[in-house]
Structure 1
Amino acid sequence: MVRKLSTKDVGKTEEPKKSRGRPRKISAVEKGSNSGKRKLSKSVSEEPRIKQKKIEVPNLFELASVGVALTLGQGDTGQLGLGEDIMERKKPALVRGELDGKKIKKIIGGGMHTVCLTDDHKVYSFGCNDEGALGRLTSDDSEGFEPKIVGGSLEGVKVIDISAGDSHCAALSEDGNVFLWGCFRDNHGRLGLAKEWEKCGEPIKLDQIQNCVVAIASGCDHVAMITDEGKVFTLGCGEQGQLGRLSKYALSRGGRKSAEERCLRPKPVTVPKIKGKSGKPMFCEVYCGSYCTYIVSTDGDVFGFGLNNYHQLGIPDGESRYMPVYIPTFSEKKWRSISGGLHHSMLLDEHGDVYCIGRGDYGRLGLGEKVLIADKPTKIEALQNIVQIGAGPCVSFAVDKNGKAFAWGMGTNFQLTSGEEDDEWTPIEFRGKQLEERSVIMVGGGGQHTVLLACDKIVNGE
């Protein structure tokens, strides 16, 4: 049921994948105020260090609403979390099992798996585990069809954020530690996670970063992080430039040589100064598309690196970037959020308006059938008062302040709730019995499925 798509000068297929062969720190949380800011203390080192300015970021975990998990789309590897008998859903279905009665803060769709974060800081996963993406041991495929807790090194850890890619997951703890599990892949196949070629079936703690991490994001096969000193670290596959620290020449000449040291160890990204501004920028936000990365400074300036073949980085020449570049077209507004798919990007501004840029095939830009490409952020006039956005490879989503969710893009995998395989070129409202008495909090796209977090409308006072 997968539609094969045309490609353009890209070393990756746009076909949603059916298999993986294709997608010492010390800190304290000051809870005495209602500012919604998470304050992290300076890390301690044996050697004297120049005092660095620390950034403050919103404590999104404490600010986030709680709800229940809903899924729809393709579920042949268990990514819907609905049991072995349900391989497909055209409308949102309630995920039960071990999540029944749990208050969920966040839900993320990976390539062929799903990961949830509860209000008691626990992580649950379900779906395909052939590359260790569930973070827990499974004796057979059937054990991935229902949600189970991720333990191991996460036991006793207060997780406050999660991210997921094609075959990996990341978790951020309250004290600024990052845990990873699963595997990265590149054009040669399995790249590895901690060691080259090897997957990690249970969470491992990253210990190479000496400062507290305050934000994480995942692309298909890479992870980007922000520290409390406003620095950017990346690891994973860098073939399209998404790591922002390996040159195109080095990648083409080096191949897989020393991949473990160069790619699988988190290392800092050097970001250039902006002409006319003094000092190097400090960063507080990070977002990832499938094969690109966006970082936002404390001044609101946006930099990007990675795949740009359809202008998804906001750079009109269509050339990919292997090192960070300042993006003027993205820096003209103040953005609440950025979300990227395979060949398109979405941006949500402070006024609740949504802009799209990149490839328009199959309707993913939401701008109508006549717009097959946009080389600058273009407003979707049909959407207003939006508070959350999300993207899958070829689909897009938005949630407004009233808890209504909208979808547009490729309909092949039933990710849009229309119940049909037709593409939607402009936003349509989410439909389904499970949403009649619920408000949507967040929505996102996996490789072939859609995930939602929703709460009872009575809880919201409606």
Structure 2
Amino acid sequence: METSSRLEFCLHSWGANSYGQLGQGHVEDQPVPQLSDAAALPHCAVRTLSGGGGHSVVVTDSGHVFVCGQNHRGQLGLGHNADVLTFQLCPSLTQKVRNVACGWDFTLLLTDFGQVLACGSNAFGQLGVGPTITHSCSALGVKGLRELVVSIAAGLRHSLAVTESGCVYQWGTGLFSHAKRALSPHPVPAHLSSMVPTLVPGLEKETSRLVTAGSAHCACLTGDGDLFLWGSNKHGQLTATDQFLSSPTLLNRSLLDGEKVINVWSGWTHIIAQTESGRVFTWGRGDYGQRGQQRPASQKPGQQSAGSSAKGGNHEVKVLRGAKQIACGSEHNLAIVGGCLFSWGWNEHGMCGDGSTTNVSQPKLVCGLRPVLIGCGAGHSLAVCAATAS
């Protein structure tokens, strides 16, 4: 996006704020977008935004990392475990960072050199540094990834990475209990039970380029536009009939009218995919409105709709066609369409930004913002917006 000297950028945040993850200097939830205290951020463009269960991370175009929010497990990478209520520079990083992925209480950072750094909780091996470290307040290098990495993803308690050659690695035991129940008496495969990066089998003939993760599932997009899914299918998020898939399974393109996938995002229990023509499809859990589909009048809140089953649960959200960006929280979403910001899904803490705490079943315009970049935490929302200077 081209900018002129008359254009300024500002960071807005809203939703859950129990730990200061909105970066506004307090711990009160905000049901409408408010300016974050961005005094510590330099006057430069922001590259990416992300959030976890109670923390937020901003990466600038210059590769610097700014953090705020919950820090009890060291997920902010500041060298201590005290919560932070406004964005602070993470000074210990010696390499420039180009991407970030936040799990519930941990953070993955992808450097310009293709190295993965991790900080926060390692109770489930989600940092990829082995079982002896319970948590880290400083970013540690994930040594088991010997190739350059091009894509990272953080689930609730597991992690994924794609290397330059297109291989997919997984670590963290967040899916282990699901796998053990589903596969017993057979053993759980190594990639679902390892505390260090382990090659995901079944993708050897594919050239993967992008990964994303839910609370207990994984998704991988190849350069050919194929989408592979594995993990828990409790809410139909894998579009399969089995309750659990231990290895990557190809999504049938007929569910997307035969089109290739160009991008994919994941909440905790739902998935959003955009096809080559710009159409946007959603599937998985929908009882909070996170699929962008109007709930039938006869359906009570919290009750799964028939469309959320594993049998043909995909749904096209037509208002999102041509979306430039989409971001998923745990059960809510943001999208930029035609320069406007839309939100939908779970809204208990006001993360949809409409001033209420009522769930939003279809994409709804968030008024007053000109979004340039968006990101979500589990229960909060972030947007870099353009504003005409006075």
TM-score, normalised relative to structure 1: 0.73
Distance 2:185 2:374 in 1: 35
Q: 2:129 aligns with which of 194, 210, 216?
A: 194
Q: Could you report, residue by residue, the CA deviation over 1:182-225 in whole angstroms, capped at 9, with x for unpaired residues?
A: 11455xxx977524361011001122222111111111112111
Q: Would the aligned equivalents of 1:396 and 1:407 in 2 still touch at CA under 8 Å?
A: yes
Counterpart residue number, 1:45: none
Taking a change above 3 Å as real, the CA distance of residues 368 and 299 of structure 1, as seen in their structure-2 partners, is: same
**2:320 is the alignment partner of 1:383:** yes
After TM superposition, the structure 1 = structure 2 runs for residues 436-455 of structure 1, keeping only pairs within 5 Å, are: 439-455=370-386
After TM superposition, the structure 1 = structure 2 runs for residues 339-354 of structure 1, keeping only pairs within 5 Å, are: 339-354=265-280
Counterpart residue number, 1:362: 288
Taking a change above 3 Å as real, the CA distance of residues 89 and 269 of structure 1, as seen in their structure-2 partners, is: same
Counterpart residue number, 1:327: 251
Counterpart residue number, 1:295: 220
The number of residue pairs the alignment matches comes to 367
Taking a change above 3 Å as real, the CA distance of residues 398 and 140 of structure 1, as seen in their structure-2 partners, is: closer
**2:52 is the alignment partner of 1:115:** no
Q: Would the aligned equivalents of 2:158 and 2:175 in 1 still touch at CA under 8 Å?
A: no
How far off is 1:101 after superposition? 2.8
Distance 2:126 2:81 in 1: 24
Q: Could you report, residue by residue, the CA deviation over 1:419-457 in whole angstroms, capped at 9, with x for unpaired residues?
A: 11111111110124xx2xxx2123232122111122336
Structure 2: stretches of 5+ with no match in the other structure: 1-7, 300-304
SS of alignment partner, residue 318 of structure 2? coil
Q: Could you report, residue by residue, the CA deviation over 1:275-330 in whole angstroms, capped at 9, with x for unpaired residues?
A: xxxxx112112122222111122222211111111111222x15211111122146
Distance 1:237 1:265 in 2: 10
Taking a change above 3 Å as real, the CA distance of residues 75 and 361 of structure 1, as seen in their structure-2 partners, is: same
Q: Could you report, residue by residue, the CA deviation over 1:213-272 in whole angstroms, capped at 9, with x for unpaired residues?
A: 111111111211111111111111242689x9x9965898789xx99x952211111115
After TM superposition, the structure 1 = structure 2 runs for residues 21-420 of structure 1, keeping only pairs within 5 Å, are: 67-84=9-26, 86-95=27-36, 96-99=38-41, 101-138=43-80, 140-141=82-83, 144-152=84-92, 154-155=93-94, 157-185=95-123, 194-196=129-131, 198-239=134-175, 249=183, 263-271=194-202, 280-315=205-240, 317-329=241-253, 332-370=258-296, 372=305, 373-374=307-308, 375-400=312-337, 402-420=338-356
How far off is 1:384 after superposition? 3.1
How far off is 1:89 after superposition? 1.3
Distance 2:130 2:229 in 1: 27
Taking a change above 3 Å as real, the CA distance of residues 191 and 337 of structure 1, as seen in their structure-2 partners, is: closer
Taking a change above 3 Å as real, the CA distance of residues 394 and 87 of structure 1, as seen in their structure-2 partners, is: same
Q: Could you report, residue by residue, the CA deviation over 1:7-55 in whole angstroms, capped at 9, with x for unpaired residues?
A: xxxxxxxxxxxxxxxxxxxxxxxxxxxxxxxxxxxxxxxxxxxxxxxxx
SS of alignment partner, residue 300 of structure 1? coil
SS of alignment partner, residue 233 of structure 2? coil
* Equivalent residue letter for 2:87: P
Taking a change above 3 Å as real, the CA distance of residues 453 and 140 of structure 1, as seen in their structure-2 partners, is: same
Q: Would the aligned equivalents of 2:227 and 2:261 in 1 still touch at CA under 8 Å?
A: no
The percentage of aligned residue pairs carrying the same residue is 23
Taking a change above 3 Å as real, the CA distance of residues 221 and 182 of structure 1, as seen in their structure-2 partners, is: same
Taking a change above 3 Å as real, the CA distance of residues 352 and 107 of structure 1, as seen in their structure-2 partners, is: same
SS of alignment partner, residue 263 of structure 2? strand
How far off is 1:398 after superposition? 1.4
Q: Would the aligned equivalents of 1:170 and 1:181 in 2 still touch at CA under 8 Å?
A: yes
How far off is 1:100 after superposition? 5.6
Taking a change above 3 Å as real, the CA distance of residues 290 and 202 of structure 1, as seen in their structure-2 partners, is: same
Q: Would the aligned equivalents of 2:48 and 2:375 in 1 still touch at CA under 8 Å?
A: no
* Equivalent residue letter for 1:426: Q
Q: Could you report, residue by residue, the CA deviation over 1:108-148 in whole angstroms, capped at 9, with x for unpaired residues?
A: 0111100010111011111100111101134643xx11111
Q: Could you report, residue by residue, the CA deviation over 1:346-389 in whole angstroms, capped at 9, with x for unpaired residues?
A: 11223332211112112111110128233332111233321111
Q: 1:421 aligns with which of 357, 363, 385?
A: 357
Q: Which has the larger radius of gyration?
A: 1
Counterpart residue number, 2:302: none
Q: Would the aligned equivalents of 1:353 and 1:384 in 2 still touch at CA under 8 Å?
A: yes
SS of alignment partner, residue 225 of structure 1? strand
Taking a change above 3 Å as real, the CA distance of residues 254 and 223 of structure 1, as seen in their structure-2 partners, is: closer
Distance 1:109 1:390 in 2: 11
Distance 2:86 2:203 in 1: 46
Counterpart residue number, 1:430: 366
* Equivalent residue letter for 1:387: K
Structure 1: stretches of 5+ with no match in the other structure: 1-65, 274-279
Taking a change above 3 Å as real, the CA distance of residues 407 and 369 of structure 1, as seen in their structure-2 partners, is: same
TM-score, normalised relative to structure 2: 0.85
Distance 1:412 1:267 in 2: 37
After alignment, is 416-425 or 383-392 more displaced? Answer: 383-392
Q: Would the aligned equivalents of 2:182 and 2:244 in 1 still touch at CA under 8 Å?
A: no
Q: Would the aligned equivalents of 1:241 and 1:292 in 2 still touch at CA under 8 Å?
A: no
SS of alignment partner, residue 268 of structure 2? coil
Distance 1:176 1:388 in 2: 23
Distance 2:119 2:188 in 1: 26
Aligned-residue Cα RMSD (Å) equals 2.9
Taking a change above 3 Å as real, the CA distance of residues 138 and 206 of structure 1, as seen in their structure-2 partners, is: closer
After alignment, is 416-425 or 176-185 more displaced? Answer: 176-185
Q: Would the aligned equivalents of 1:290 and 1:340 in 2 still touch at CA under 8 Å?
A: no
